[in-house]
C-alpha cells in the first residue's frame, strides 16, 4: 500500500464521519417537517377529491376531480385567481422598486445610526397583519386621516372612496411585504465590495450603467430571494384583503377561508388551496428561470 493510499484513509473516514453527523442532525428536522407539513397536505389533498352534499352540508368520501373542474370552468373563481396573481405581481414589482434604494442606503451607510435604521425596518414585523390592516382602515376611512386632511385643506369637497377598494388592498399588502424585500436585498448588497462600484465609475460609467451592469447582477441573489418571498406572501395574503377589501373584494386566501368556515365545503376548499399552492409554485419557478437566463446573458 502506497503512502498516498495510507494518507487518504483517515481523510475518507473523517469525511464519512462528518456525513453521518450531518445526517443525524438533519434527520429530526426532516421527520418533523414530513409530519407537520407534508402529512396535513396529503390529508387535505385527499379531502379535495371527495364530494360535497349541499343539502346535508357534509363531505362524502369519493375519488373525483369535480372540484377542480368546477373551479376552472366557473368564471367567478378564475377571475379571483387572476386578481390574486395580478395583485401579487404588482405588489412584488412595487416592493422591489421601493425596497432597492432603501436597502442600498442601509447597506452602504457607515453612520452610527445604522442599527436604528435596521430596527425601524424590522419593527413593523412585530405587529400582526390584522393590527396593521386595522391601522390602514383608520387612515383610509371616509373620516380617516387622508380624507380629513384633504378636506381640511380645502382640496376636496367630499371624501375619496379608498376603503374597500383594490387600491387599499394593494397599499396594505405593500406595507406588509416591503420589510421582507428590504432585508433580503440589504444583506446581499452589504456583501458586494464597494470598490467594484468605484471601479465602474472610474472607467466612466454613469450611475444608471453601473447599476444595470454591475450592481444589479451582483445583487441578483437578494433580488430573487426578496421577490420570491414577497410574491408568495402576496399570493397568500388573508387579513389585509379581508379587512381592507371588504366582503365584495375577493382574493384566493379569503375565498378558501370562506369555503371551510361559512360554506363548510371542505372538498372544494381543499381543491382551491391546492390550486393556489400549485399556481404560486409554478409562477415562482418560471420567474426564477427567466431572471437567471437573462442574468446569464
pLDDT at position 157: 83
> Helices 66-73 and 75-108: crossing angle, nearest 10°?
80
* Residue where the block lists cell 399556481: 279
What average pLDDT does range 121-127 have in this prediction? 90
Q: How far, in Å, CA of 208 to CA of 94, rounded?
A: 19
| Range 80-108 average pLDDT | 95
User: Whole-angstrom Cα distance, residue 22 to residue 26?
Assistant: 6
In angstroms, the CA 116 to CA 247 distance is 39
Q: Which residue has the cell 373551479?
A: 71
CA distances from 47 to 53, 56, 60, 239, 254 (A): 13, 17, 9, 25, 19
Is residue 164 within 8 A of residue 240, CB to CB? The reply is no
The fold adopted by the segment(s) 67-296 is: MetI-like fold (1.10.3720)
Q: What is the pLDDT of residues 15-32, one digit of tens each?
A: 665 656 767 777 888 888
Q: How far apart are the first and last CA of the chain?
A: 50
| Phi and psi torsions of 121, nearest 5° | -80, -40
Question: What mean pLDDT is predicted for residues 217-225?
Answer: 91
Considering only 7-21, 198-212, 227-241, which range has the smallest mean pLDDT? Answer: 7-21
What's the pLDDT at 7?
47
More confident residue, 23 or 201: 201
Residue whose C-alpha cell reads 473516514 in the numeric block: 13
Domain ranges of the chain: 1-48, 67-296
Q: How many CB atoms lie within 10 A of CB 64?
A: 13
Angstrom distance (rounded) from CA 138 to CA 243: 11
Least confident of 35-39, 65-69, 215-219: 35-39
Mean pLDDT of 235-243: 93
Q: Half-sphere exposure of 152 toward its Cβ, with a 13 Å CA cutoff?
A: 8
Amino acid at each position: 500500500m502506497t503512502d498516498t493510499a495510507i494518507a487518504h484513509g483517515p481523510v475518507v473516514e473523517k469525511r464519512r464521519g462528518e456525513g453521518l453527523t450531518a445526517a443525524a442532525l438533519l434527520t429530526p428536522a426532516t421527520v418533523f417537517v414530513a409530519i407537520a407539513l407534508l402529512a396535513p397536505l396529503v390529508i387535505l389533498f385527499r379531502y379535495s377529491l371527495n364530494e360535497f352534499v349541499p343539502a346535508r352540508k357534509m363531505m362524502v368520501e369519493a375519488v373525483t376531480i369535480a372540484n377542480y373542474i368546477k373551479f376552472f370552468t366557473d368564471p367567478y373563481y378564475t377571475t379571483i385567481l387572476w386578481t390574486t396573481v395580478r395583485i401579487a405581481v404588482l405588489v412584488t414589482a412595487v416592493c422591489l422598486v421601493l425596497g432597492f434604494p432603501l436597502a442600498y442606503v442601509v447597506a452602504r451607510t457607515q453612520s452610527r445610526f445604522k442599527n436604528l435604521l435596521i430596527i425601524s425596518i424590522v419593527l413593523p414585523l412585530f405587529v400582526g397583519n390584522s393590527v396593521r390592516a386595522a391601522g390602514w382602515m383608520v387612515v383610509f376611512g371616509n373620516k380617516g386621516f387622508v380624507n380629513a386632511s384633504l378636506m381640511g385643506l380645502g382640496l376636496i369637497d367630499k371624501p375619496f372612496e379608498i376603503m374597500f377598494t383594490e387600491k387599499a388592498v394593494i397599499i396594505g399588502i405593500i406595507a406588509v411585504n416591503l420589510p421582507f424585500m428590504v432585508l433580503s436585498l440589504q444583506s446581499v448588497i452589504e456583501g458586494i465590495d464597494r470598490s467594484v462600484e468605484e471601479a465602474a465609475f472610474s472607467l466612466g460609467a454613469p450611475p444608471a450603467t453601473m447599476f444595470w451592469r454591475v450592481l444589479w447582477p451582483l445583487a441578483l441573489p437578494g433580488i430573487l430571494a426578496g421577490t420570491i418571498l414577497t410574491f408568495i406572501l402576496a399570493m397568500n395574503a388573508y387579513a389585509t384583503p379581508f379587512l381592507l377589501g371588504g366582503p365584495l373584494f375577493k382574493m384566493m386566501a379569503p375565498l378558501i377561508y370562506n369555503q371551510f368556515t361559512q360554506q363548510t365545503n371542505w372538498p372544494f376548499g381543499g381543491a382551491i388551496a391546492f390550486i393556489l399552492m400549485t399556481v404560486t409554485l409554478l409562477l415562482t419557478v418560471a420567474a426564477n428561470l427567466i431572471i437567471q437566463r437573462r442574468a446569464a446573458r
